[in-house]
Amino acid sequence: MHIQFVFAVKYRAALISDEWRERLHQYMTGIFQKNEHKLLQINSMPDHVHVFIGMRPHQSVSALMQLVKGETSKWIKEQRLCNHPFAWQEGYGAFSYAKSQVADVVRYIQNQQVHHRKETFLDEYRKFLNAFEVDWDERYIFKELQ
């Protein structure tokens, strides 16, 4: 299965710094590899992350996301990378793709910095939900910036 995960820093605070974001990507990559999934692309903005993987069926989506978010939050705190208390916001998006779409999704994630000059994270996320025909309630969408 090819799955794109999208998840945000709690309250969408812009806490992922350019100084350590590559280290975060490497740490996340290690978690996916240790769990026998194939990382296809990862990128982040200061307030959210996009991860695209080839997911093996031996682990549930929810178990994997709980592990990734829990381990990275703990690692960020232990490494003292952030001057503010760090936590991921509750929830995540998980969107599946056909093999024929892999190259397009990889390019999309690689170009996040350019993309977000034109569109906000919340607008982007709502488009994902609508495109994938997910029934959603505004109360459960990622919180506005604080």
Cα angle 35-40-41, degrees, rounded to a multiple of 5: 110
- Per residue in 93-103, pLDDT (tens digit) is 999 999 999 99
For 101-143, the DSSP string reads GHHHHHHHHHTHHHHTTTS-HHHHHHHHHHHTT----GGGSPP
Residue 107's domain spans which residues?
2-140
- What is the rounded average pLDDT for all residues in the chain? 90
C-alpha span between 134 and 96 (Å, rounded) = 12
pLDDT value, residue 129: 81
Whether 26 maps to a domain, the answer reads yes
Tell me how many domains the chain contains: 1
Whether 87 maps to a domain, the answer reads yes
Q: For the chain, which residues score pLDDT lower than 70?
A: 115, 136-146
Cα dihedral 31, 36, 40, 42, rounded to 10, equals -10
- Per residue in 46-66, pLDDT (tens digit) is 999 999 999 999 999 999 999
- Quote the pTM value: 0.85
Whether 61 maps to a domain, the answer reads yes
pLDDT value, residue 142: 64
pLDDT value, residue 121: 73
C-alpha span between 78 and 125 (Å, rounded) = 30
Whether 145 maps to a domain, the answer reads no
Whether 39 maps to a domain, the answer reads yes
C-alpha span between 24 and 16 (Å, rounded) = 9
CATH of the domain at 80: 3.30.70.1290
38-45 sheet: strands from edge to edge:
38-45, 48-54, 2-8, 93-97
| Sign for the pseudo-dihedral over CA of 19, 95, 138, 113 | positive
Whether 130 maps to a domain, the answer reads yes
